[in-house]
Structure 1
Amino acid sequence: MQSLIGTGVALVTPFKKDFSVDVEALERIVNFQVENGIDYLVVLGTTGESATLTKDEKELVIKTVIKANAGRLPLVLGVGGNNTAEVVEELKTRDLSDFVAVLSVSPYYNKPTQEGIYQHFKAVAEASPVPVILYNVPGRTSSNMIPATVIRLANDFKNVVAIKEAAGDIVQAMRLIQNKPEGFLVISGDDIITLPMVLAGGSGVISVIAEGFPRQFSDMVRLGLDRKVDEAYEIHYQLSDAIDMIFEQGNPAGIKEVFKTLGLSGNTVRLPLVSATEDLASRLDAFTKKVAGQAKVNA
């Protein structure tokens, strides 16, 4: 799965002020990623507000991204949930021919045991016609998929090829990297510890901040993969304040403010999420203009 090494981005779903999907803005965002060094795109992840999209809207987002991408970058589709049978049915019936893999979140709300998590992903792996990226995000699911469970799945199912590890725990990430089978990818799901994970042996990131600053963040990951540590950390520290800010009031409210400044989309989010406060929006606007200005000077 060489196509999953480097920087992937979890695409937002831009909305118009009437809360309908903004197709033109989504096309601009896809092109912005392609033209600025991103390695692959993730469709309908948490950042895409998939929880508040209707079935028809999800289809619209998928078709829009496929068309705008035009085969230029590998695509990953978010297919997950806490109803195992429903996830399995979607994997069996959806056309996944345009996607190199699916990203499947560990079941949320139910709070399954480690054996329950294993059995859920066993069913997912057996049903999926494409490779599976596990997604561990305890802050959203209320349960942590421990390294032993991940390694067990990776060893038992050849199509379980990677994990997006978003526990925010560098020690846990290092244990995964240390004990994973050959070829299995440990991908950061936390922007702020992406570089330390890469330098420890991780394969890259599925990022939020990178879609706002794709050139800079993807350059940082490539430098990390090439073991150019000082150069990589220089970029890390340039962006670290922005990483804190975009998550300060929830995701994707922060990154949508960046897109508003860049002229790519509006900042509308759907309830129960709300837009960033005026104070945060102002700080993100100033930071984004500063980075954009530096990019023009260096171009």
Structure 2
Amino acid sequence: MSPVSRPLKPGIYAPIPTFFLPGSEDLDLQALEAHVVRVAQAGVSPLLAGTMGEALHLTHDERITVIKTARRALDAAGFETVPITVGTGTGSTRETIALCTEASEAGADYAIVITSGYFAGVLANNRKAVKAFYEEVSEKSPIPVVIYNYPGASGGIDLDSDLITELATECPNLAGVKLTCGNVGKLTRICATVSQPSFATSYPRRNPDAPFLVLGGFTDFILSAAYVNGHGAITGLANVSPFTIAKLFELSEASLKDSSLLPEAQRVQGIVACADFTIAKAGIAGTKALLEKLYGYGGNPRKPLPPIEPEDAAALWEHPHTQELVELERALGGKFS
């Protein structure tokens, strides 16, 4: 039987939280199964063991368990063609490659790799070393690799548009970049090269199912990104309101061909941008608290990350930005338990 094709497509990807049982902090696989199916039902693809998934707090064996559990849940629910992307970035090049291999063997389709930031004092000013990291990882990974540019979690290292574009043209197993730097100008400059129709023929990918995508790390510029030929976003807010974020992407793309849809796209983008600004400040614990309120699962982060204070969770839930997003999600078909 031939393997199932799961292309990496423009759209919305949700960095799935890793859920833990109260007290023991063991993996809560039942909550994970429910959540990956919930986001898939909205047309959102899961990303496991990323920042939101507390990858730093997971053992290698736990990562494998998370991947296998998510794949089984998606397949059982009829989402066999939904791809799974997994965070595999860690301290050394060697271990990062090992994690890519383990993820592939467990059922992952794509990897996303953050720049190693522990020795940022050395690497931040050594462009050659940073470039060599992504060259070697992508060359040796058995699955396509997405660059994860997140200065806040990599010691302040911030890849510029020239370096990302170079990597895109020179490394055929790179499948995109996530810009959690939030730099729309950088996104525009990268898209000016990689989103041209000639790019795919001039710089073919090793895996034809994995074109080079330029993805935002927040939801507040999905509409703007569409107009410079961006490809969507990987965003934590898609855990809370997957139908809304998927709808925003759909409207943004459709408005390129039908300008009458632009006012509605702008309206939804405004609601989403305000909610993202408010909810992102509450971090992983805040997102989990909202999931608990909406869906009945969420729990706390793994220590030493602290849970959100009860009064802060109540304020986050009651905030007008949150409530407007929840109302829109409900109107678009999101079901709350």
Partner residue in 2 for 1:272: 304
Which amino acid in 2 is paired with 1:257? A
Give ranges in structure 1 of 5+ residues lacking alignment.
Answer: none
Report the secondary structure of 2:220's partner residue.
Answer: helix
Partner residue in 1 for 2:30: 24
The answer to whether 1:119 aligns with 2:147 is no
The answer to whether 1:196 aligns with 2:224 is yes
Partner residue in 2 for 1:110: 119
Q: Is the 8 A contact 1:7 1:204 kept in 2?
A: yes
Which amino acid in 1 is paired with 2:22? K
TM-score scaled by length of structure 1: 0.91
Report the secondary structure of 1:46's partner residue.
Answer: coil
Q: Indicate how the Cα distance of structure 1 residues 196 and 214 shifts in structure 2: closer, same or farther if over 3 A, else same.
A: same
TM-score scaled by length of structure 2: 0.81
Report the secondary structure of 1:276's partner residue.
Answer: coil
The answer to whether 1:12 aligns with 2:21 is no
Distance 2:237 2:332 in 1: 20
Partner residue in 2 for 1:179: 193
Which amino acid in 1 is paired with 2:318? A
Which amino acid in 2 is paired with 1:41? P
Q: Is the 8 A contact 1:134 1:162 kept in 2?
A: yes
Q: Pick from 277, 289, 292: which aligns with 1:257?
A: 289
1:80-100 CA distance string (max 9 Å, x none)? 122011112333455447333
Q: Is the 8 A contact 1:102 1:131 kept in 2?
A: yes
Q: CA deviation at 1:48?
A: 0.3
Which amino acid in 2 is paired with 1:110? F
Distance 1:85 1:205 in 2: 28
Partner residue in 2 for 1:134: 147
How many residues matched?
Answer: 297
Q: Is the 8 A contact 2:111 2:145 kept in 1?
A: yes
Partner residue in 1 for 2:207: none
Q: Is the 8 A contact 2:114 2:149 kept in 1?
A: yes
Q: Indicate how the Cα distance of structure 1 residues 256 and 67 shifts in structure 2: closer, same or farther if over 3 A, else same.
A: same
Distance 1:162 1:185 in 2: 4
Q: CA deviation at 1:290?
A: 5.5
Q: Is the 8 A contact 1:15 1:22 kept in 2?
A: yes
Identity of aligned residues (%): 24
RMSD: 2.1
Distance 2:332 2:65 in 1: 38
Q: Is the 8 A contact 2:12 2:249 kept in 1?
A: yes
Report the secondary structure of 2:12's partner residue.
Answer: strand
Q: Indicate how the Cα distance of structure 1 residues 199 and 258 shifts in structure 2: closer, same or farther if over 3 A, else same.
A: farther
Q: Indicate how the Cα distance of structure 1 residues 121 and 48 shifts in structure 2: closer, same or farther if over 3 A, else same.
A: same
Q: CA deviation at 1:187?
A: 0.7
Report the secondary structure of 1:48's partner residue.
Answer: coil
Give the alignment of 1:1-299 within 5 angstroms: 3-18=8-23, 19-38=25-44, 40-70=45-75, 71-92=80-101, 94-96=103-105, 98-111=107-120, 112=123, 113-141=126-154, 142-180=156-194, 182-183=199-200, 184-226=212-254, 227=256, 228-250=261-283, 252-286=284-318, 291-296=325-330
Distance 1:72 1:122 in 2: 28
Q: CA deviation at 1:260?
A: 0.7
Distance 1:294 1:121 in 2: 40
Question: Which structure is higher in RCO with an 8 Å CA cutoff and minimum separation 6?
Answer: 1
Report the secondary structure of 1:41's partner residue.
Answer: strand
